[in-house]
Amino acid sequence: MTMRTYRYFVCPKGHRGEERTSENDQPFSKNWEHVTLTGMKEAPPNSGEGERFVCEQCGAEMLPAMSARD
Ligand SMILES: [Zn+2]
């Protein structure tokens, strides 16, 4: 069984980003988690504040969005 989780982000200029996480916990396969980023990329891990993303189009920091269509 595969479970997918979506999280949506938006940058200050209005560009949208999406993080899609797929998890598979079938007993006969090794647990795995796969993360796909759309419209953004991981920020360099130099801030010490954990997971951050930046916009692929303008490089601004992405902020969590309430929904995909606000
Ligand atoms: Zn942007």
Q: How far is the CA of 51 from the centre of ligand 1 (A)?
A: 18
The pLDDT assigned to 52 comes to 87
pLDDT digits (tens, 9 = 90+) for 3-54: 889 999 999 999 999 999 988 766 666 666 788 999 999 987 776 667 789 9
The pLDDT assigned to 43 comes to 87
Determine the average pLDDT of the residues in 48-64: 89
Determine the residue type at 57: Q
70 part of a folded domain: no
31 part of a folded domain: yes
Residues 6+ apart with CB under 8 A from 53: 9, 17, 19, 37, 40, 41, 42, 43, 61, 62
Cα(13)–Cα(6) distance, integer angstroms: 21
Q: How far is the CA of 66 from the centre of ligand 1 (A)?
A: 17
69 part of a folded domain: no
Q: How far is the CA of 64 from the centre of ligand 1 (A)?
A: 13
Q: How far is the CA of 26 from the centre of ligand 1 (A)?
A: 38
Number of domains in the chain: 1
Cα(41)–Cα(62) distance, integer angstroms: 9
**Enclosing domain of residue 24:** 2-64
